[in-house]
Amino acid sequence: MVVIKGIEYYLPEQTELNNSGDKLTDKIGINQRHIAKKDEFASDLGIAAANILFEKNNISRTDVDYLIYCTQSPEYYLPSTACILQDKLGLSTSIGALDVNLGCSGYVYGLSLAKALIQTGQAKNVLFITADTYSKFINNQDRSVKPLFGDGATATLLSESSSIYGLQSFVFGTDGTGMNNLIVPAGGLRNPISEFNLQEEIDSFGNVRSNSNLYMNGPEIFNFSLREVPKSINELMEKEGFSIEDYDFFVFHQANQFMLEYLRKKLKIESDKFSIQVNDCGNTVSSSIPIALKRELLNGKIKKGDRVMMVGFGVGYSWAATSIVWHE
């Protein structure tokens, strides 16, 4: 089986508070977000998370033989940031290293890639890093996204094991027709940064943004999530031969409290079996599931032998679900 040997996370020191007592703040359940400094980038956060993983879990860098880096905030078009991370983390030059451009579903996708690499004998120990700095895409006057997103990074080590526990089945989904509902329209080769794309406009709700900023159609993202997440969960349960009651704990992408509670009630999941970890860090995109997973492990909510379901969903549209039987 393939097991998670360790998970750690890093949040930038700089923080921003949402308006306490504000109606929106109460609804989304996010009071504080961690924001990268001007000269602090996603790879810097990823390096910090990986170093914590090595130090706290007594993991040798020489044991890593593959590196997967998931981000939508790369510093360069090329080279792959994973190559830069290999050097800065002091990893062997004999490893494989690649970038994955995925957001809210990225952690589950990365787990599936790591499992495949290990089970096919291509790797024994995969270091999987997630890191995003969405704050650098957000206009400070855009209240539709600014209170939601925080920056952060995680590092997970996956290894082969003779244990009967570990990662189980996966299901995936993709629907590119939703691409324009969560997008940074300008900045790539199709629509480069220009004077035109830097011009700010005010929408009907008073939010200010340019084409170089993050845009999210909140209602459409919400509808997509309510449509596809339950379907993917039912598909996973059918694949594994279980019902919702057979899972001991649930860690979904931490979009916001309102969406999570809506999904929890729709799926009839007990509140004490369901993770909500957004209050002090917000939506950290690809890092949201592993941050929540680590915190629930520390809280004692997840124990050895527990069957934990993880579901990622969002930008793309892209979604994925998996389960893991915890081995420690």
Annotated active-site positions, please? 104, 253, 283
Per-residue DSSP letter, 149: B
What region does 166 belong to: left with phi over 0, alpha with psi -120 to 50, or beta? Answer: left
Residue 179 has a CB neighbour count (10 Å cut-off) of: 11
Residues near 183 by beta carbon (within 8 Å), at least 6 away in sequence: 214, 215, 315
Beta pairing partners, 50:
none
Dihedrals phi, psi of 226, to nearest 5 degrees: -70, -25
**Cα–Cα distance measured from residue 77 to residue 84, given in angstroms and rounded to the nearest whole number:** 13
Cβ atoms 295, 140 nearer than 8 A: no
Q: What angle do CA 313, 16, 286 make, to 5 degrees?
A: 20
Residue 25 has a CB neighbour count (10 Å cut-off) of: 15
Cβ atoms 88, 49 nearer than 8 A: no
Task: State both tokens at 200.
Answer: 């700010």
Task: State both tokens at 112.
Answer: 């599936």
**Cα–Cα distance measured from residue 239 to residue 280, given in angstroms and rounded to the nearest whole number:** 35
**Cα–Cα distance measured from residue 321 to residue 308, given in angstroms and rounded to the nearest whole number:** 11
E strands in the chain: 2-10, 15-17, 32-34, 66-70, 96-100, 125-132, 152-160, 166-174, 182-183, 201-202, 208-209, 215-216, 249-252, 307-314, 318-325
